[in-house]
Amino acid sequence: MFLELREYRTKPGQRETWVSFMEDEIIPFQVSKGMVILGSFVGEQEDDLYVWIRRFDSEAERKRLYEAVYESDHWKNTIAPQIPAMLDREKIKVTRIASTPKSVMK
């Protein structure tokens, strides 16, 4: 099992729009495909920071879920075209992390 910590930077003035889009569209869609989303966060001191965390049981599961989400017609035709107006895609940072033995987030 591992976690995927995803750090995004929104374009100026777009963070609230992005958060709504994530919580109303992207997260429910990904969950419907089997993704496990552990949390969604904004920076308290950085007005462009958005962070979310996903959990995967294995690399095979991650590959299967990535395909189910990112290769779907809904993602390609409905969700993906809206993202560039809100996110600075060049600043996306994805870090794989593993929970320590006493971590409550697993």
Domain limits for position 46: 2-97
CATH number, domain at 24? 3.30.70.100
Answer whether residue 104 is part of any domain: no
The pLDDT assigned to 32 comes to: 98
Where does residue 8 rank: exposed (0-12), middle (13-18), buried (19+ CB within 10 A)? buried
Total tally of structural domains belonging to the chain: 1
Q: What are phi and psi of 50, to 5 degrees?
A: -135, 135
pTM for this model (two decimals): 0.92
Q: What are phi and psi of 53, to 5 degrees?
A: -130, 130
Degrees, nearest 5: CA angle 67-71-76: 145
Return per-residue pLDDT of the chain as tens, 106 residues. 999 999 999 999 999 999 999 999 999 999 999 999 999 999 999 999 999 999 999 999 999 999 999 999 999 999 999 999 999 999 999 999 999 999 988 7
